[in-house]
A and B are shown apart, each in its own frame.
Chain A
Amino acid sequence: MFSRRNGAALDDRREGPFANPRDVTPDQCLIVRLGHGANCSSVGSVVDTLFVGATVGGAILAAVCAAMKHEPVTVVRQRPAKDSTVADGADKKSEST
């Protein structure tokens, strides 16, 4: 049910029911928070991206989308379906890791 803590990753997403993933497009990114930040008292947000031009902003979004396409996946905080039957891919995959 929970896949991150033992270091396992869902890196088999290009097989089975989710074969042939497509590219994520920038318009599918509702929010993009860049970097880690390291403040221990209040939540910090990058603001210099508010002042970049469309070209630079687009390049940043493209880089993030490309990263999502290539990095192996680990799903966290999985919840079983309330009917408890093995459901669709996400649940099944997490159980297998």
Chain B
Amino acid sequence: MIVRFERWGAWVKTETVPALVALDRDGVRALGLDGGAVWREESHEASPPIEVHLAVTSRCGAGCEGCYLDAKADGVEPPKATIERALDALAEAGVFTVAFGGGEPTLRDDLGALAEAARARGLAPVVTTSGLGLGPRKIEQLRAFAQVNVSYDGAAEAYENVRGFDGSAAAETAIAKLAAAGIKVGVNVVLTRKTFAMTKATIRRAASLGATEVQLLRYKPQGRARSLDYLAKRLSAPQAGSLGALLRELAAEHEGRLTVRIDCALVPFLSADPELAARPKDLQRWGVLGCEAGEKLGATRVDGRVAPCSFTAVTALHVEQLASGWSREPSLAPFRAYAAAPPEPCASCTLRDVCKGGCKVVSDYATGGIGPDPECPRVRAHATSAPHAP
């Protein structure tokens, strides 16, 4: 297991039971370890991220109409040595998980070697792929990853609604082939207004093909999705308010067979679920993370520039300076400051410490800056009830 000391104890990444645990100081001492200098210092610098999303190419010919990075067929592919230096930097900073993305990562012929390079540095490599064009040779390259997720928004109509073309057959084939090859495979399901009602069917289909995990994703207004079309694709208020109930049903249906995840941007919607909103300690305990942009999460683009998350603008920080520059990069400060002290209605929300104020990408789209997530049910209710200035 890998241990990274923190002021409050340590992050501990276990392998036999794949998990990342925040252990308090007594727990660390119980392991026979001591935080040494980290525990003695009075530093309040931001710790490095625990997870970094690494764009290994900006090439992708799929042309998804909502691509958040506006990836294109003639995109950039950094040399292998450049990616290896980035992996060195992530390892030096004490990052635990590196999520390879793009563009379409499987377009790289050296993808398997890069995953091995990540493992050699003690990082857990994972990857997301569209599954398009995934033949036997590429599948073999994916064996080096701890997990592979295939973008799968549902059968024909649902897939096409999210991406603008029907690639569902290729995605389904990829899921089945990966599972047959013994590779741990999950699916990423983007939720939109038209596809939300199909979510249960989509997950049943993915599970029948061999997927063991599903991650539900909020559609976000960035890249090619940063347009007026976003307003028609985003979840409706009733759909957002029913997310907690949907998760409860999915957990019951797939218990023990398929793990259900949600992305950070969906966490605000849990505030509409009275039962979950009353259990913030449980959400914290089970590691539910809201907006961790610039805190526990970081991202890098193909030019090596670091961003708070994959959807936000890049900073001046280069990944090769991550260990020394993460805590001091000024562009990250507003994200951290907002999460630490959000205004109402976030300030009095029971889920505040989990949610961290909702998705900043959505607030930036709607208001031009960091603010309360305008699609959060609690924020919607607050806006409706608040007195308006004359």
A binding-site residues for B, Cβ under 8 Å:
2, 4-5, 7, 10, 13-14, 18-25, 28-52, 63-64, 66-82, 87-91
* Separation of A73 and B32 alpha carbons in the complex (Å): 10
Q: A87: shortest Cβ distance to chain B, in Å?
A: 5
| 5 new A-B contacts at CB < 8 Å, known A24-B23, A34-B259, A82-B41 | A32-B19, A38-B146, A73-B3, A74-B1, A76-B122
Contact A42 B33 (CB under 8 A): no
Some 29 contacts from A to B, beta carbons below 8 A apart, are A7-B122, A21-B32, A24-B23, A30-B24, A31-B284, A32-B19, A34-B19, A36-B126, A38-B186, A39-B217, A40-B126, A40-B127, A40-B128, A42-B217, A44-B263, A45-B267, A45-B286, A45-B289, A48-B251, A50-B251, A66-B17, A69-B31, A75-B2, A75-B4, A75-B33, A76-B3, A77-B94, A78-B37, A89-B34
The 8 closest A-B pairs by CB, nearest first: A40-B101, A28-B27, A77-B94, A33-B287, A21-B32, A18-B32, A38-B126, A31-B22
A43-B292, A82-B37, A91-B37 given; A30·B30 CB < 8 A: no
Partner of B38 from A29, A79, A89 at Cβ < 8 Å: A79
Residue B163 at the chain A interface, CB threshold 8 Å = no
Contact A13 B31 (CB under 8 A): yes
Q: Is the interface of B mostly helix, strand, loop or mixed?
A: mixed
Q: B112: shortest Cβ distance to chain A, in Å?
A: 15
Across the two chains, which residue of chain B brings its CB closest to A76?
B94
Instruction: List, in ascending order, chain B residues with CB within 8 A of A34's CB.
Output: 17-19, 259, 286-287
Binds A, one of B5-13, B227-235, B363-371, B373-381: B5-13
Instruction: List, in ascending order, chain A residues with CB within 8 A of B149's CB.
Output: 37-40
A41-B310, A48-B251, A71-B14 given; A30·B23 CB < 8 A: yes
Contact B261 A29 (CB under 8 A): no
A41-B217, A75-B3, A90-B34 given; A50·B22 CB < 8 A: no
Interface centre among B32, B38, B124, B126 (most CB of A within 10 A): B32
Q: A28: shortest Cβ distance to chain B, in Å?
A: 3
Contact A30 B9 (CB under 8 A): yes
Residue B349 at the chain A interface, CB threshold 8 Å = no
Q: B58: shortest Cβ distance to chain A, in Å?
A: 13
* Separation of A18 and B51 alpha carbons in the complex (Å): 30
Contact B122 A74 (CB under 8 A): yes
Contact B213 A35 (CB under 8 A): yes
Residue B176 at the chain A interface, CB threshold 8 Å = no
Q: A96: shortest Cβ distance to chain B, in Å?
A: 13
Residue B338 at the chain A interface, CB threshold 8 Å = no
* Separation of A18 and B35 alpha carbons in the complex (Å): 12
A14-B32, A71-B16 given; A39·B128 CB < 8 A: yes
Q: B81: shortest Cβ distance to chain A, in Å?
A: 17
Scan residues 17-53 of chain B and give those whose CB is less than 8 A from a CB of chain A.
17-24, 26-27, 30-38, 40-41, 48, 51, 53
Scan residues 281-312 of chain B and give those whose CB is less than 8 A from a CB of chain A.
282-289, 292, 296-297, 309-311
Partner of A39 from B2, B4, B215 at Cβ < 8 Å: B215
A24-B30, A47-B261 given; A81·B92 CB < 8 A: no
Residue B321 at the chain A interface, CB threshold 8 Å = no
Partner of A87 from B26, B33, B37 at Cβ < 8 Å: B37
Contact A68 B14 (CB under 8 A): yes
Instruction: List, in ascending order, chain A residues with CB within 8 A of B12's CB.
Output: 68
* Separation of A73 and B93 alpha carbons in the complex (Å): 18
Across the two chains, which residue of chain B brings its CB closest to A40?
B101
Partner of A50 from B1, B41, B188, B279 at Cβ < 8 Å: B279
Instruction: List, in ascending order, chain B residues with CB within 8 A of A32's CB.
Output: 19-22, 285-287
Residue interface bits B143-167, CB-to-A below 8 A is 1, else 0: 0011111000000000000000000
Q: B382: shortest Cβ distance to chain A, in Å?
A: 24
A14-B32, A41-B217, A50-B279 given; A67·B261 CB < 8 A: no
